Structure 1
């Protein structure tokens, strides 16, 4: 039941922008809760990396006195990975195209993260 609701949130998020290629909801300890990822990606690996990156982002933000972490953004030559907390126990991770309009995506991801946090 919960997985179905999470998958519908991800489907809506992926449909909100042609620039969003994939998305997933992970637990903060790296377990995949729901995903809309290409088959070429290993869900366990995506989960572990997402949790590690967000944990490191939390620590970095705290140690460097930047306040509460809002998001982690990784830019590669083939696009972006955006991760944000979705409540205290979950992470929303999104893969975007290299020419993505990030401002709009940030809003859509924030909205989706708020929806996820209400379910978890």
Structure 2
């Protein structure tokens, strides 16, 4: 995960940029921790990243609860369709989520096809231990 002052994880940011390149009607995307902290984003200027990350975490928490209550199972994704387009939130492991914003004309099947593996890859990137700095005094 990102440590303060280091900026977003370059692997996570690369996943977001690749997703935008692969889905033509994608407006933007972000990765947030389950407690609503922004991890990385590729959003248009009109969307405030920290606020969107907090909203994503709130929606995801409610949706986890709804899925568990209704079906007793885990949550995979939440799809919100509005007049201005789609907001889709994918679980990215237990500690994070991938949120994608798409225009109203997006092919939703294609969006899922491209976004689901990205969410899994991001979960893997965030779960991997951060490389430890080498102790150069001993060498």
The one-character-per-residue Cα deviations of 1:5-31 (angstroms, maximum 9, x if unpaired) are 111000001111111110001001011
Task: Indicate yes or no: 2:86 matched with 1:94.
Answer: no
Equivalent residue pairs, number? 120
Report what 1:40 is aligned to. Answer: 46
In structure 2, the gaps of 5 or more residues are 1-5, 127-139
Report what 2:14 is aligned to. Answer: 8
Give the TM-score taking structure 2 as reference length.
0.82
The one-character-per-residue Cα deviations of 1:24-73 (angstroms, maximum 9, x if unpaired) are 01001011100001111111110110000011000001111262211011
Aligned equivalents of 2:88 and 2:105: distance in 1? 14
> RCO (CA 8 Å, sep 6+): is it higher in 1 or 2?
1
Report what 1:110 is aligned to. Answer: 116
Aligned equivalents of 1:110 and 1:51: distance in 2? 18
Cα distance, 1:88 vs. partner? 1.1
RMSD: 1.3
Larger radius of gyration: 2
Relative to its length, the structure with more helix (as a share) is 1
* Structure 1 stretches of 4+ moved >2 Å: none
